[in-house]
């Protein structure tokens, strides 16, 4: 379209006067716009109520969450108390094992000293036996009876020493077991 025609239409559109119906509808629109603030005020109240109800709902949810958290805190405190009880119990068990260990060390030391004393006594008995055998050989047949008595006495002593050695070996085995337990 040529530019002049376009202008004319624009001019023609602007020159048209509104009809009486149009003016009446525009007045009604103005009136409805004036009454809209009341409507918007009511809408504001509705919006406020909705927001208030949403806040109350959120508050109720938070209260439920707080209760759940309180229960979880209570459970965690109970678990902590149980852990503390276990810790105290294990500490007491450790002290008890330490005391047992010290007692076993003392017992082993005593048995070692006793073993050394018995070995020394055994050496003395062997020397006495050798001396008695030498004396018996010198005395002849009458001394054979004495020699057999001495030998039986030495055999008894040897048996006693053997029993003490067995006890010492058993104590050593117990000592090793205790060491293994304390390492774990």
Rounded CA separation 23/4 (Å): 31
What does the block give as tokens for 116? Answer: 């050394």
> Taking Cα atoms as reference points, which of 169, 164, 178 lies closest to residue 102?
178
pLDDT on residue 76: 92
pLDDT band at 35 (very low <50, low <70, confident <90, very high): low
Q: Is the pLDDT of residue 176 over 50?
A: yes
pTM of the model: 0.35
Q: Is 128 within the bounds of a domain?
A: yes
Q: What's residue 118's pLDDT?
A: 87
9 is a domain residue: no
As a whole-number percent, the residues of the chain with pLDDT over 70 amount to 73
Q: Count CA atoms closer than 13 A to 116's CA, side-chain side.
A: 5
Q: Which of 29-38, 84-93, 96-105, 120-129 has the lowest mean pLDDT?
A: 29-38
Q: Which domain holds residue 133?
A: 48-183
34 in a structural domain? no
For the segment 101-125, the average pLDDT, to the nearest whole number, is 89
Confidence category of residue 66, pLDDT binned at 50, 70, 90: confident
| Residues 113, 115, 118, 123, CA torsion sign | negative
Residue 63 included in any domain: yes
Sole residue written with tokens 């629109």: 29
- The closest of 155, 154, 156 to 125, measured between CA atoms, is 154
Confidence class for position 26, pLDDT limits 50, 70, 90: low
What's the domain count of the chain?
Answer: 1
Q: Is residue 5 part of a domain?
A: no
Phi and psi angles of residue 49, each rounded to the nearest 5 degrees, phi first: -60, -45
Q: Is the pLDDT of residue 167 over 90?
A: no
- Residue 156 lies inside a defined structural domain of this protein: yes
The pLDDT score that the predictor gives to residue 180 is: 82
- With beta carbons less than 8 A apart as the criterion, state whether 135 and 143 touch: yes
Residue 31 lies in a domain: no
Q: What is the mean pLDDT of residues 58-81?
A: 88
In a domain, 15, yes or no: no
Q: Other C-beta atoms within 10 Å of 164: how many?
A: 17
SS3 label, residue 17:
coil
């Amino acid at each position: 379209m040529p530019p002049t025609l376009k202008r004319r239409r624009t001019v023609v559109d602007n020159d048209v006067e509104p009809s009486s119906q149009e003016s009446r509808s525009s007045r009604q629109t103005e009136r409805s716009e004036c009454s809209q603030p009341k409507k918007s005020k009511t809408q504001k109240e509705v919006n406020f109520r909705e927001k208030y109800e949403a806040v109350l709902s959120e508050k109720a949810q938070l209260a439920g969450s707080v209760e759940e958290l309180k229960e979880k805190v209570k459970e965690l405190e109970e678990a902590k108390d149980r852990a503390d009880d276990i810790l105290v119990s294990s500490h007491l068990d450790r002290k008890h094992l330490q005391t047992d260990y010290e007692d076993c060390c003392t017992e082993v030391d005593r048995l070692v000293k006793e073993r050394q004393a018995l070995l020394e006594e055994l050496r003395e008995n062997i020397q006495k036996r050798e001396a008695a055998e030498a004396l018996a050989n010198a005395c002849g047949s009458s001394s054979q009876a004495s020699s057999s008595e001495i030998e039986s006495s030495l055999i008894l002593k040897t048996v006693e020493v053997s029993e003490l050695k067995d006890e010492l070996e058993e104590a050593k085995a117990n000592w090793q077991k205790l060491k293994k337990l304390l390492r774990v």
